[in-house]
């Protein structure tokens, strides 16, 4: 029987737990958090990007239910933690000594290309449209934006997540080999 799952060839034929074990052994330190206020379809894209870039932990802040269609079942291979309120998320991040980096273009922030993104980073993303709430922004250690050269002021949050995660990989993993 052919394995029709959307997994790399090296994982074809392996059971779920073995895939997770292998991913955990080579995963990166970066964590991702998503503020879930709208059940935005882009959340699935962010989760799928996290899986693709080796992130092992995703935090969902707010509503527990989200539109998983865009994740293409990649959430099943990740550690997904739910936080009902921002204060709970902030407490966990403080205990884990995480640097909270908001990816947001609607406030004063640092260009992504110039931002220090240490290994202990957790990147937070908001919803398409409203972005990250003021309350969540208030707990961020730093805020960065993605530099753009065209006429639009933003890219889709799913796209932004992929760009930001790749920037972290460049600074912490890919250039270290």
Q: Between 37 and 22, whose confidence is greater?
A: 22
Residue 175 has a pLDDT of 79
- List of E strands, 42-98: 55-62, 79-83
Q: Are 80 and 50 in contact (CB under 8 A)?
A: no
Average pLDDT of the segment spanning 102-113: 92
Interatomic CA distance for residues 47 and 58, integer angstroms = 7
Residue 114 has a pLDDT of 96
Q: Is 170 a member of any domain? A: yes
Residue 83 has a pLDDT of 97
pLDDT at 151 over 60: yes
Tokens of 110: 């640092």
Q: Is 3 a member of any domain? A: no
Q: Between 73 and 120, whose confidence is greater?
A: 120
Tokens of 44: 């699935």
Q: Residues of 145-172 as b/e, b for ≥16 C-beta within 10 angstroms?
A: bbeeeeeeebeebbebbbebbebbbebb
Domain span at 160: 15-176
Q: Is 56 a member of any domain? A: yes
Q: Is 5 a member of any domain? A: no
Number of domains in the chain: 1
Interatomic CA distance for residues 125 and 108, integer angstroms = 16
Residue 108 has a pLDDT of 87
pLDDT at 177 over 70: no
Q: What angle do CA 51, 56, 62 make, to 5 degrees?
A: 90
Q: How confident is the model at residue 37 (pLDDT cuts 50, 70, 90)?
A: confident
Q: Is 4 a member of any domain? A: no
Report the CATH number that the domain containing residue 125 is assigned in CATH.
3.40.1280.10
Residue 1 has a pLDDT of 57
């Amino acid at each position: 029987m052919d394995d029709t799952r959307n997994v790399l060839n090296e994982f074809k034929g392996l059971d779920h737990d073995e895939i997770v074990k292998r991913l955990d052994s080579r995963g990166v330190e970066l964590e991702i958090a998503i503020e879930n206020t709208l059940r935005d379809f882009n959340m699935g894209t962010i989760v799928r990007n996290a899986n693709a870039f080796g992130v092992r932990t995703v935090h969902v802040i707010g509503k527990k239910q989200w539109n998983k269609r865009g994740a293409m079942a990649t959430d099943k291979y990740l550690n997904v933690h739910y936080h009902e309120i921002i204060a709970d998320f902030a407490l966990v991040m403080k205990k884990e000594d995480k640097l909270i980096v908001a990816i947001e273009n609607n406030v004063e922030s640092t260009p992504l290309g110039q931002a220090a993104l240490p290994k202990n980073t957790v990147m937070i993303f908001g919803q398409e449209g409203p972005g990250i709430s003021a309350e969540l922004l208030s707990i961020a250690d730093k805020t960065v934006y993605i530099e753009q050269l065209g006429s639009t002021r933003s890219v889709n949050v799913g796209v932004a997540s992929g760009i930001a995660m790749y920037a972290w990989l460049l600074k912490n993993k890919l250039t270290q080999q």
